[in-house]
Structure 1
Amino acid sequence: MSLAGRPRRVAVLGATGCVGRHVCAAFAERGADVVAIARRPARHIGPYPFRALDAGRLTGGELAAVLAESRVDTVVNAMLGWGRSAREMDDANVRPVERLLAALRALPDPVRYVHLGTIHEYGPIPYGTAVDETAEPRPTSLYARSKLTASRLVLDAAARGELDAVVLRLTNTLGPYTAPESFFGALAARLRRAAAAPGEVTDVAVAAAHRDFVDVRDAAAAVYAAAAGAAPERLLNIGRGEAVAVETLVRTLVEVSGLPPDAVRIRHAEVRSRSAGADWIQVDPSRARQSLGWRPGHLLTDALRAVWRTVEPAPPVPLSPR
C-alpha cells in the first residue's frame, strides 16, 4: 500500500513541541491544510485548526473518529514522552503508538503515516563512524528502548501491508524555539539572563562529546518529503552527517549571543552514562538523500542564531554535560 501525491490535509500529533510546530509550518508553507493536535495549545503554534486532545489516552476508535472527522490524508506523529521507569517510558512512547496504529487501521480511507523516531534507537555508535539504517539497534537507555519498540511496531505493520508508513530517526535538533529543557535551550536562556547582567560569568559543564545536529526546520522539511514521496524507504535516518564537538557549538552560541568570550566559563565533564546519547553520534543520511532528495539547508550557525533569537530569559538552572 503506497500513497503518491502531494499531501492536502495533515494531522500533526504533538504539534506544540519544538519539532511538531515546525512540521506544521513545513506542511502549511507547501500548501497543505494542517490540523494541530496536542494536549494543550502553545504560543508560536501558528494559525491552524487546533484540537486539544491527549492522543495517548484516547482509544483507537476514539482517535480514528477524530482523524476521520478531520478528513486527513496524512498523519505525522511528533509526540514525545518521558518517564522515570520502563513502564512510564512505555506508557509515554509505546502505548500511544499502539492506539494510533489501531486508529489508522480503522480509518475508512488509507493515509500516509510518518512516525518520528530517534537516532538514539541504535544505541552507542562506535567513535568515528556514521550509523546507517542497516545497523542493528542496541539501545541502552530506557527512553531509546521505548522509542525503538514504537518504531518497530510501525515498521512491522508496514511490512505486513496494514498501513502506508515511514519511520524517520531524527538526530539532535537545533533551531527556533528549541525546547527550554534541552541543553542548548537551557544554556541560551541562561545567556539571555547574563546579557542583562554585564560582568556575570556563566559556568557550563560540557562533555567531551561529538554529536550530529540538524536544524529543526530541515528536519521538518524531511518529514514533508517523506509524506509526499510516492514510495519512500520505510526507515530513514535524518541528520547532517557530521559529528560536531559540543564545546564548539557552545562557543558558537556565545559568539552569536554577542557576549564576550569570558562571559562563559567552560568546565569539562564526563558524558553521563544515563544520558540519552554517548560520546559520538554521526548519521549516514545518504538513504534520505537518495529516497527523498532531501539535504539540510541551514548551517548550524544559522540554527544557533535562531535559538538565540527565540529564547526567553530564565533563571539559572543546573546544566549537566550532554
Structure 2
Amino acid sequence: MKVVVTGATGNVGTALLRRLAEEPDVRVHGISRRPPSDAPPYQGLDWTPVDIGQPGAEELLGIAFENADAVVHLAWLIQPSRDERQLYRTNVAGSSRVFTAAAEAGVPHLVHMSSVGAYSPTRKDHRVDESWTVNGVTSSFYSRHKAAVEHMLNQYETSMLISRPRPGLILQPDAGSEIRDYFLGSLVPKALFRHRIPILPLPKDLVLQLVHSDDVAEAIALILQQRLHGPVNLVAEPVITPRVLAELLGGRHLPIPPRLLRVLANVTWRLRLQPTPPGWVDLGLTAPLLDATRARTELGWKPVHDARETLRSLVRGIGEGKHVQASPVL
C-alpha cells in the first residue's frame, strides 16, 4: 500500500511516519518543502521536495501521487501570521493543488487534516458532533482557511473517497520549542515554564480540548485501514478549563473579561512582541467542544494519552527546550 503524506516533517507528519513504520505492507512517500535529515523516522523513505504554495506544484505532486493508494494531506502554515496572503497561498490554494493532483492521478482515498477550527462558533455548554456547521470563526485566519478548504473538498467527493479528521488542539511534548515559538514567541521566556506560575489570568470561557499527536497518528492509521468516509472528531479527555490549566502550572486561575485578553493579544501582536493575533483568542473562546463518539464507535479509536498529562508534558518540553523538526498542525 503506497501512502503519500504532505507535510510529512511536521508535528502530526512525524508522528504518522513513526506509526506507519509499524505496518510492513505500507510504503510511505513524503512531501515537504525541503528534504529532511536522514534520521528516524525520515530515513529510508521516498521524498519529493515541493512547496505546495507555489504555482506549478501540481506537476511534482502528480508524479509523487502515481500509483498511490492514499494521500494524507497535513501540510499547513500558521506563521507568518502578519502575511495572510502567504498563508492563503499554502493553506487554501496549496490544498487545492494537492486535491486536484490527487484526483487527476486517480488516487482512490484522500485524508485531509481538518480541525475544530473549521466549525462555526457556539457556546461551550454542550458538545457538537460532525453534523455541526462548518463556517469557521470569521476573525481567525486559521479558522477561515480551514472552513474554506472543507467547502472546497466537496467538489472532489465524486472523484475519490474523502476522510476529514477534525481534531482539537494537537500537541506533541517533543515539539515544545516550536509550539512556544509559534504561539508565544519571546514575550514568554521558556524559563518561566520550569517554575510554578502562581496566577493565571484567563477568561473562564477559554475552554480547550487537546489530543496528542501520536493519538492523531493512530486515528489516521485506522482511517487508512478502514477507509472511513467523511468527518470524524478527535479529542482526548478531560476538557481543559482555565482552572485545570492553572492547577497544572502550579497556581490558581484569575478570571478576566474576554475583551481584556483580546486587547492584550492585539496590542502585543501589533507591537511584534508575540506572534499570535487576536483571532486565536476568539477561536479559543467560541470554537465548539467536540463529541468524539464516531471515532470511538466506528473507528475503534481510543486515545492513549490523557489530555492533562499531554499538557503537563508539553509544559516540561517547553521549559527544557525540546525540539523536533516540526510545526504544530491544529
Question: What TM-score comes out, normalization by structure 2 length?
Answer: 0.75
Listed as ranges, the matches of 1:113-262 within 5 Å are 113-139=110-136, 140=138, 141-158=140-157, 161-178=158-175, 180=177, 182=179, 193-194=191-192, 205-208=201-204, 209-230=206-227, 232-240=228-236, 242-252=238-248, 254=249, 261=250
Q: Does 1:287 align with 2:294?
A: yes
Q: Indicate which of 8, 21, 26 corresponds to 2:19.
A: 26
Cα distance in 1 between the residues matched to 2:59 and 2:65:
10
Structure 1: state its 5+ residue gaps: 1-7, 255-260, 315-322
Range moving further from structure 2, 279-288 or 72-81: 279-288
Which residue does 1:46 correspond to in 2? Answer: 41
Q: Cα 1:39–1:301, aligned 2, differ >3 Å: closer, same or farther? A: same
Q: Does 1:299 align with 2:297?
A: no
Q: Which amino acid aligns with 1:274?
A: G
Structure 2: state its 5+ residue gaps: 263-277, 322-330
Listed as ranges, the matches of 1:18-97 within 5 Å are 18-31=11-24, 32-41=26-35, 46-48=41-43, 49=45, 50-57=47-54, 58-68=56-66, 71-82=67-78, 83-84=81-82, 87-97=85-95
Deviations 1:99-149 (A, max 9, x none): 111211221x53321100111111322121112111122322222111111
Deviations 1:160-209 (A, max 9, x none): x211211111111223334645469878996862587x8x9788654431
Deviations 1:1-21 (A, max 9, x none): xxxxxxx23221111211221
1:207·1:247 contact (CA, 8 Å) conserved in 2?
no
Q: Which amino acid aligns with 1:150?
A: V
Deviation, 1:249, is 2.8
Q: Cα 1:308–1:87, aligned 2, differ >3 Å: closer, same or farther? A: closer
Range moving further from structure 2, 121-130 or 279-288: 279-288
Q: Cα 1:52–1:306, aligned 2, differ >3 Å: closer, same or farther? A: farther
Which residue does 1:277 correspond to in 2? Answer: 284
Deviation, 1:60, is 1.9
> Percent identity at matched positions?
22
Deviation, 1:45, is 5.8
Matched residue SS, 2:30:
strand
Which residue does 1:11 correspond to in 2? Answer: 4
Question: What TM-score comes out, normalization by structure 1 length?
Answer: 0.76
Q: Which amino acid aligns with 2:294?
A: R
Q: Which amino acid aligns with 1:63?
A: L
1:12·1:75 contact (CA, 8 Å) conserved in 2?
yes
Bigger helix fraction: 2
Q: Which amino acid aligns with 1:17?
A: G
Deviation, 1:155, is 3.1
- Number of residue pairs matched? 290
Which residue does 2:272 correspond to in 1? Answer: none
Cα distance in 2 between the residues matched to 1:184 and 1:251:
23
Cα distance in 2 between the residues matched to 1:61 and 1:301:
44
What's the RMSD between the two structures over aligned residues? 3.3
Which residue does 2:325 correspond to in 1? Answer: none
1:210·1:243 contact (CA, 8 Å) conserved in 2?
yes
Q: Which amino acid aligns with 2:34?
A: R
Matched residue SS, 2:100:
helix
Cα distance in 2 between the residues matched to 1:195 and 1:244:
18
Deviations 1:70-97 (A, max 9, x none): x532211111123546644421211111
